[in-house]
Copies of this chain bind each other. A is one copy, B any other.
Amino acid sequence: MNSAVLDMLKWDEQGLVPAIAQDADSHEILMMAWMNRDALQLTMEKQQAVYWSRSRQKLWFKGEESGHVQEVQEIRIDCDADVVLLQVKQIGGIACHTGRKRCFFRVLSNGEWQEDEAILKDPTEIYQ
């Protein structure tokens, strides 16, 4: 891995950048998480999404427990080099820990947040 590729990113004061995962087929935004330098390097090497879990303060190999791996087809950065955009194939068709296709399942409608995505699999079945 050419370290210049990683040096290009403007890591924040915690050494992180936001990373957006977009479904390469449906073009839906599946989720947004965070990456540190190691996570991005591993994502590039494995061609599978690896994030940094801020709550657990450790590398998060997406799908390591659930099997819902994200195969990475393309990696982009924005004009400020402080946001990563992944095009992914979402294995299992479930990106969200709630068992939904995508994390953005609440839409503003009539002045309220309304859920409009079905739970495809019970989380207790996903994380056994």
Q: How many copies does the complex hold?
A: 2
How many residues does chain A have at the interface if contact means C-beta atoms less than 8 Å apart?
Answer: 36
CB proximity of A21 to chain B, nearest CB, Å: 10
Select which of B1, B8, B79, B97 is within 8 A of A103 by beta carbon.
B79
Contact B103 A78 (CB under 8 A): yes
Of B27, B98, B108, which is within 8 A of A76 by CB? B108
Contact of A112 with B22 in the complex, beta carbons under 8 Å: no
User: A5 near B112 (CB under 8 angstroms)?
Assistant: yes
Interface residues of A, Cβ cutoff 8 Å to B = 1-2, 5, 8, 18, 20, 22, 27-29, 31-32, 44, 74-81, 83, 85, 96-98, 100, 103-108, 111-113
